[in-house]
Amino acid sequence: MRGRVLRPGEALSAAIARVLAEPETMRRCARCRRPRPLRLFYWNPHMLDGWSFWCMTCHQEHYREAVA
């Protein structure tokens, strides 16, 4: 997936729904290095492509370790 997820004039919820409706777009997690479906990544509008670098599992593990 290249470029920004949002198209000009498109609502955020519509952009997320459109991307998640595509057939299993894969992305590699920067922490665990495993390829995962895009639906297992958090939406992050601060990133260029609109998705987090880490998968949801790695985010959860990181915050559990940080709190403990």
pLDDT at 67 over 50: yes
Digit-coded pLDDT (tens) for 18-61 = 776 777 788 999 999 999 998 899 988 898 888 899 999 999 99
- Residue-level pLDDT at 4: 56
Residue by residue, DSSP assigns 2-56 as -S-SPPTT--HHHHHHHHHHSS--EEE-TTT--EEEGGGEEE-TTSTTSEEEEEH
Can you give the residue ranges of every domain in the chain?
12-67
- Residue-level pLDDT at 25: 81
- Residue-level pLDDT at 7: 65
What is the spatial distance between Cα 14 and Cα 11, in angstroms, rounded to a whole number?
5
- Residue-level pLDDT at 1: 45
Instruction: Say which residues have a Cβ less than 8 Å from residue 63's Cβ, sequence separation at least 6.
Output: none
Digit-coded pLDDT (tens) for 3-17 = 555 666 667 777 777
